[in-house]
Amino acid sequence: MTGREYLRRWPLWHRGGGLPHDLPVIPNLDARILAAIETGPGGLEMRAWHSECGTTHCRAGWAVKLAGAPAEALEDVIGTERVGELLYALSYPDLSLPDFYATNEEALADMRRRAGRDQKTQAEREDGNA
């Protein structure tokens, strides 16, 4: 299901409740998660939303962490998976939602693929071809 489809169905799943208005769109979300994992102090562990040390998260956990306080507050209400889905849907409306239950290797490969797509799209915009 694409992000756009997910967002369209959200009110049906949540008793007519609207989308949270304070969640950000995070440009290049997968590239930002990869940077935090590969060059920052963080790590990826797909078997847990967050680690006790606070520097290792799953993919959805990283999305929540990068989104900041509004996402963290909503996480306490509806959970990491749902907030992660919302953040990915908002940030990538034309792509399928990622598999938050993939292995570490599968998640890294998918993030690298999507981050490469982000870079290509940005380069096309800068060249005036998009």
Query: Between these two residues, 124 and 37, which has the higher pLDDT value?
Result: 37
More confident residue, 88 or 127: 88
Domain count, the chain: 1
Distance between CA atoms of 73 and 84, rounded to whole angstroms?
13
> What digits encode the pLDDT tens for the residues 6-51?
888 877 666 656 677 789 999 999 999 999 999 988 899 999 999 9
* Domain boundaries, position 68: 3-127
